[in-house]
A and B are shown apart, each in its own frame.
Chain A
């Protein structure tokens, strides 16, 4: 009995130790369990990913790219689908039959197809991109070994019309470049989404969210005006033996670009076939040129605005002037005696514009040109716009002789868009409107209109109107080729020699000619610029002015601009209506 009690005593003594051991063991087990349950975030996510990869598939849904329309709603772009066709040779049941069926649909060589269908690879590319019709015909075969992958593609129904302005899309329809496609890529592209789809068919199929689609864009371009400008430009380039050319048409009242034509151009549906990559550059905004005597109008305007010269200003032209140790001479080295501002512009006198610039001073001259927007991006809404170059005192390469060159538009670089915007400012009574090519952006929440935006007032109304009168005289006396019998046209021809590392080019086809004009001169409704590179003849008034005349003839019809007589009659009616008391109409 005492023996048993001693045993019990031992058990009693050891029991707490065993209990403690078991408690520790249980605690460790609980800690391990907890550790197992509460993984670090990264591990948990990875485990969840592996788990969901078994039951879910992630589909990359490309966003449908927004459309581009002209100002009248004519579609300029479309999204179409093409397909890439592949095959799992292991799943091909009857290679011979499938080969024959595919050969008919794809118009492919049967032997080549047979090798692909019987290949040892797990997956074999068959053809692509193939058209939507071919893709649908392949899908209709219902063969499980065939796999079709969608390739979104941009289609431009108007072909080469406004190609540089609209732009192109690369990378299976995802990245816009050039023109509006490039400048507004993020607006047009929408959102590419990764959608997790359950492999278990118990969840309701989801539709694509509407907000994923890109926004539509309405341009300021007028398809008809664009077509005629392109046709006239092509004819002008060919007739004049020019290397290339550009035409821009703008409404000076609101800065809307109505047409932007370049020749040679390209078909954006076949841009991969282009051999000359320079064709994919938009010369209207992505290339600069020396504007030449076009700038004389801006020099005169700046001098008048600064107060350095008055409307009655004149000078004695001796045919030569020296600035910074360099002599500047008029065309054909002629002297003209007493000449007023109109004479400087109509005869395109280098000495005259240099004299005006000297009288206003270098700082006021450059301030004037800068306020006209030269050497700055216009923000018109096109891809990769060039800034141009207007060197100031202190800049590399600037000297007083460069200042002398600048007074008549040489030794500086501007884009055609910059220089037409400057002339549109004069046409719009000195107020510079923001040039723009996008009129409206249409999204899920409705349409947002481009607001009429003023950049700044560059000239007083009086100065602008006087400069307009000067430009009317310039057309009559200096560029009668641009004169229109029933309309008052204001304008200025420009001729620029092409600058090279060893000086200005000489000989045939060695100039860039241009003409910028607007009409009706009193209340301009349209301003247009013609620029031709390296034509057979040398001067702007003899090459570009007649082209301007032709396009102006077309523009007054397309834009329904009444002639001067009708304008006067309309003004008289408006005046009488204003005089009539309200309610008596």
Chain B
């Protein structure tokens, strides 16, 4: 009697339908959870990076400010009264007209056009980075080169 009831119960198509729906629901929730956690981890990483950038901008501004302060300090050490006092201290005195002689060079033209200075330049071959195309083959080559470089560094 009881066995018949169980058989009857399990053989009902309705129950089978419900179990499938439950499985699909559980699967959906699992997928949603995975996607959600992936999204949250991405968002968290993004937020952390933003915070880091913000901190770096703040630090940069602070360093710039400190730099300006130092330049200001240097400028206040280079004021004329200070330089003058120091010059007097080490034995200099202000020049007078009597200390100055003007020499005129007959063949020297002070208004001549200065010839532009051409610096001697030496060209070096700049190392070029390998270029990989954005295909599977390119990716494979990049990975291979990466491994090869790693092995080369191991070998010293």
Contact = CB atoms under 8 A, between A and B. Distances in A.
A316 interface: no
B109 A157 contact: no
B68 to A, nearest CB: 6
Interface in B48-89: 50-51, 53-54, 57, 62, 65-66, 68-69, 71-72, 75-76, 78-81, 84
A380 to B, nearest CB: 23
A80 B97 contact: no
Given A132-B65, A161-B80, A486-B97, A74 B57 contact: no
Interface in A201-237: 201-205, 207, 223-224, 227
A361 interface: no
Nearest to B105: A573
B112 interface: yes
Contacts of A205: 50, 53-54, 57
A207 B81 CA distance: 40
Interface in A530-585: 553-554, 556-557, 562-563, 565-566, 569-570, 573-574, 576-577, 585
Contacts of B72: 75, 78, 80, 155, 157
A577 B46 CA distance: 72
B50 A204 contact: yes
A81 interface: yes
B100 interface: yes
A81 B72 CA distance: 12
7 contacts: A75-B71, A75-B72, A155-B72, A202-B46, A486-B97, A553-B97, A574-B111
A205 B69 CA distance: 26
B54 A563 contact: no
Contact of A202 (B43, B102, B107): B43
Interface size range of chain A in the complex:
35 or more
**In terms of DSSP, what is the predominant structure of the interface of chain A?**
mixed
A337 interface: no
A557 B99 CA distance: 10
A577 B102 CA distance: 19
Nearest to B50: A201
Given A81-B65, A202-B50, A157 B81 contact: no
Contacts of B62: 136
Nearest to B111: A574
B108 interface: yes
A158 interface: yes
A553 B94 CA distance: 11
B68 A569 contact: no
Nearest to A572: B104
A553 B99 CA distance: 12
Contacts of A161: 79-80
A138 to B, nearest CB: 13
- Looking at A78, A79, A576, the one whose CB has the most chain B CB atoms below 10 A away is A78
Contacts of B78: 74
B127 to A, nearest CB: 32
A85 B88 CA distance: 44
B47 interface: yes
A201 B51 contact: yes
A553 B104 contact: no
Interface string B31-57: 000000000000100110011011001
A78 B43 contact: no
A84 B48 CA distance: 30
